[in-house]
Amino acid sequence: MEEIKVFCPATIANVSCGFDVLGLALESVGDEMVVRKIDEPTIRIRKIIGQELPLETDKNVAGVAGLALLEKSSCSHGFEIEIYKNIKPGSGIGSSAASSAGAVWAMNQLLDTPFSPLELVQFAMQGEKLASKVAHADNVAPAIYGGFTLVRSYAPLDIVPIHTPNELYATVVHPQIEIKTSDSRKILKTNITLEKGIQQWGNLGGLIAGLFTEDYGLIGRSLEDHIIEPIRSILIPEFEHVKKAVMEQGALGSGISGSGPSIFALSKGLETATKVAGAMKAIYAKTDLDFDVHVSKISSKGVQPITKKA
């Protein structure tokens, strides 16, 4: 195989109580990417459609992630990448992760899969480091593994796939202001009280237990963030109004998607998730902000090939 076209899913990181360790992949939102072999032993970004992003390999997250893989590979050739961006940078749903994960997953396929998913996450984390100054894995892990993933440890890296209930849906609203992950990290406190830590650990454990047991009530009760959300939410217009409105429509819970400004809500069933989308639209329609709303199942797969229709 000389060329492959892939779908690279958008992701929701943190999921309220799991800062830097928990994430999920979306089924219906994502980028597309074409990766092909070239004779030169390098990574070349051929074109980017949809967003203005750097074509220079060392300034592009897909290029940096690809170079990390190439450095560990024994192959004598390189790769050329085309990126079709549907996820806006700075939206909070894993734009850089989609590019980073998509590039290394596709390259691995063209090399007959010498690298494990865990190794692919490590390569993709280098793209995240370029984007946010921190090599975090809470977006790239679900982008590669699919579903929910838990980063149990960063040193050494340990990724745990988490069961996803079949009726669980995500609704995401993106008010179109840009919040860079690197900037949103600067405002966070580096110390927390023991009381806040206990609340957060309990919610993270409760959320994972709720996912495995398909206890939607427990999932909802656990979608609370006592550490990050109170600080970052001040950067997001209408945040508290959205949180209240989605609960009135039956959402299990809601929070900031990644570093924001996107807000996510989880619901049981498509009907409720659609009502939640309507509530989000109604709030932002009264502002002068442009916005996008997505309703999606949690994807059971991460990056995956796009097959040509017959």
- Tell me the three-class secondary structure of the chain, residue by residue: CCEEEEEEEEEEECCCCCCCCEEEEEEEEEEEEEEEEECCCCEEEEEEECCCCCCCHHHCHHHHHHHHHHHHCCCCCEEEEEEECCCCCCCCCCHHHHHHHHHHHHHHHHCCCCCCHHHHHHHHHHHHHHHHCCCCCCCHHHHHHCCEEEEEEECCEEEEEECCCCCEEEEEEEECCCCCHHHHHHCCCCCCCHHHHHHHHHHHHHHHHHHHHCCHHHHHHHCCCCCCHHHHHHHCCCHHHHHHHHHHCCCCEEEECCCCCCEEEEEECHHHHHHHHHHHHHHHCCCCCCEEEEEEEECCCCCEECCCCC
Q: Of residues 80, 128, 224, 229, which has the active-site annotation? A: 128
Is-catalytic flag, 128?
A: yes
Q: Of residues 171, 181, 224, 272, which has the active-site annotation? A: 181
Active site residues: 128, 181
